[in-house]
Amino acid sequence: RRNALQTLRDTPAVTRDHQRIELQANIELPDDVQAVRAEGGDGIGLYRTEFLYMNRDQLPTEEEHYQAYMQVIQGMEGHPVTIRTLDLGADKQCEHQPEPGSCINPALGLRAIRLCLKETSIFRVQIRAILRASAHGPVRLMIPMLTNLWEARQAREIIREEMHSLAEQHIAMDRAIPVGAMIETPAAALTAESFAQMFDFLSIGTNDLIQYTLAVDRADDSVNHLYDPLHPAVLILIQKVLEAGSRRGKPVAMCGEMAGNPRYIPLLLGMGLKTLSMHPASLPEVKQLIRKLDLRAIKPRLESLLQNPDAEDFAQAIRDLADC
Ligand code: PEP
Ligand code: MG
């Protein structure tokens, strides 16, 4: 059994019709890299950096950021590492948020990039550390919770300024570091083509995208039954993002929980996703499933199913795609 798992780890995720799928991992701590390597992840598709800010009184220094990123980059030995900038607020609270608890609705409040663009000195420290780390491996920088192009432009401008300042000090970095946008609000999904134009890649964050599309708090058990990744509205938005990416020639990944759930894998590959990022523990099962799928069989069936996503047996039909 051990040997079988090791073989699986070293085998690429390829469908029966020879479509290579990148299977990346979501991590929250530098030490999570061990699990990613053990499960054969192709890279880090989402490095959540909130841990640097949690359970402490002081903000993390640039050096602390840098050390954490270096540990992940070195552990990944040349595989891509997608570092997401700070996403505090809503379900991710800590001591440093201005006036914690005073938000009327934290999910709709000053979180993630909104907080970073208000407290730009906090943001700049992280950006500098990510840029410095990019000299040591294939680092990608990713911005969470964008809703409009003003935020996108501001974020890109701050990155440009910090690049300029590092360059003036002759500090090494990857001047061509890919910068991506998380698409996790309906607003960003509906205008994804503008984001695709401004960024090097997109990554769909389904945890928040579903929450905001369906007006269902992702952390509230009492409405858990309404949190439906197969809701037609969610699928339409995912489709829109994929179309925007292909029109603008920019890669689109998915890094929400939906991407690691075998139930949705045939649907997502059939829709055209080629990069999925998930909890490291989900990698082997998802890879095994992908190696059994034939997209030539799935795509025509999916096309006809998506004509009528309100159908009562839609969820079951989506699951059945795996048997194609
Ligand atoms: C998401 O929203 O889908 C996502 C991947 O980000 P997080 O779960 O950290 O909000
Ligand atoms: Mg999110």
Once rounded to an integer, what is the mean pLDDT over residues 145-154?
A: 98
Surrounding residues of ion ligand 2, Cβ less than 5 A? 184, 205, 208
Q: Ligand 1: which of 184, 202, 210, 213 to mutate, most ligand atoms within 8 Å of CB?
A: 184
Binding site membership of 71 for ligand 1 (Cβ less than 6 Å):
no
CB 295 within 8 A of CB 15: yes
Q: Rounded to the nearest 5°, which phi and psi values hold at 212?
A: -80, -30
pLDDT band at 229 (very low <50, low <70, confident <90, very high): very high
Q: Tell me, what's the pLDDT at 49?
A: 98
Arithmetic mean of pLDDT, 283-299: 97
Cα(first)–Cα(last) distance of the chain, in Å? 27
pLDDT exceeds 70 at position 96: no
**Among the listed ranges 3-12, 191-200, 235-244, 263-272, which one has the minimum average pLDDT value?**
3-12
Per-residue pLDDT band for 296 (boundaries 50, 70, 90) equals: very high
**Token pair recorded at residue 163:** 């690049």
Does ligand 1 lie within 6 Å of residue 207's CB atom? yes
Between CA 54 and CA 59 the distance in angstroms is 9
Instruction: Please give the pLDDT value at position 90.
Output: 72
| Cα-based angle 258, 259, 265 (whole degrees, multiple of 5) | 100
Percent of the chain's residues with pLDDT above 70: 96
Please indicate whether residue 254, judged by its CB atom, sits closer than 6 Å to ligand 1: no
